[in-house]
Structure 1
Amino acid sequence: MQRLMIADGSDVVRKVGKRILTELNFMVSEAGSATEALHRCEAEMPNILIVDAGMEGAIELITTLRGLPNGKDVRIYYCVVEADLKKMMMGKRAGANDFLLKPFDRKILTQAFAGLSAAA
């Protein structure tokens, strides 16, 4: 089972995402801040990480994570509210693999992650 972490300052976003992604057979953990996410990643590296672009320290989290052992193997999704090219490029330069638009729903998450849940 793939380990996936949602790093987002919103309790609602984390809870909704966790419920949907758990149904897609991911083992989902949550972090409410970049610092919490980093500590959790150091303890147990997820296969996939969703990082909210609006969260304080999001870019630093991605760059720090990429420098950790096995950090280059994590698939990172940078979650933006709108298709803001400048913000997306900052995420890409920091090491994000892909992007998600917020607010996300079951359809968006299923399209993005259904094929990845079995690819352990």
Structure 2
Amino acid sequence: MKTCLVVDDSKVIRKVARHILESLEFQVCEAVDGQDGVEQCETVNPDVILLDWNMPVMGGMDFLRAVRAKGQTAKVIFCTTENGLPQIEAAIAAGADEFIMKPFDRDMLQSKLELVGAA
């Protein structure tokens, strides 16, 4: 069974993502911010990371740089309301694999998982 780490400060987003991901037969772990996510990556080693852009303590970009620097190879899907081209380019340059806009549904998330080869 594949594992997905959901890194988002919104309890509602984590709950919705968990529900969708479990229906797609993923084991789901949750982190409340980037720092929590970095710590969980050290023990969980997820196949996929669903990552929020704006979070307290450590944001999505800092999280992404930190885990890539540590050799984390999980597919990363940014889940965000940020849709400007400069943000997308920066995320891809930092190691993100794909983007999904909030709010998202099962079909949208499944499509992105398929695009990164994780579904």
Pairwise TM-score range, normalised by the shorter structure: 0.7 to 0.9
- Structure 2 CA distance for aligned equivalents of residues 20 and 89 of structure 1: 27
- Structure 2 CA distance for aligned equivalents of residues 37 and 85 of structure 1: 25
The residue type paired with residue 109 of structure 2 is L
Q: Could you tell me which residue of structure 2 aligns to residue 17 of structure 1?
A: 17
**By how many angstroms is 1:76 displaced?**
0.6
CA contact (8 A) 2:53 2:82 kept: no
Q: Could you tell me which residue of structure 2 aligns to residue 67 of structure 1?
A: 69
CA contact (8 A) 2:78 2:100 kept: yes
Q: Which is further off, 87-96 or 15-24? A: 87-96
* SS, match of residue 100 in structure 2: strand
Which consecutive residues of structure 1, in runs of 5 or more, have no partner in the other structure?
none
**By how many angstroms is 1:108 displaced?**
0.9
**By how many angstroms is 1:33 displaced?**
0.6
The residue type paired with residue 34 of structure 1 is G
- Structure 2 CA distance for aligned equivalents of residues 23 and 82 of structure 1: 27
What pairs up with 1:46-61 in 2 under 5 angstroms?
46-56=46-56, 57-61=59-63
TM normalised by structure 2 equals: 0.88
CA contact (8 A) 1:80 1:88 kept: no
- Structure 1 CA distance for aligned equivalents of residues 27 and 63 of structure 2: 21
**By how many angstroms is 1:10 displaced?**
0.4
- Alignment RMSD (CA, Å): 1.5
Task: Name the count of aligned residue pairs.
Answer: 115
Which consecutive residues of structure 2, in runs of 5 or more, have no partner in the other structure?
none
- Structure 2 CA distance for aligned equivalents of residues 26 and 11 of structure 1: 18
- Structure 2 CA distance for aligned equivalents of residues 90 and 9 of structure 1: 21
**By how many angstroms is 1:53 displaced?**
1.1
Aligned-residue sequence identity (percent) comes to 30
- Structure 2 CA distance for aligned equivalents of residues 113 and 66 of structure 1: 19
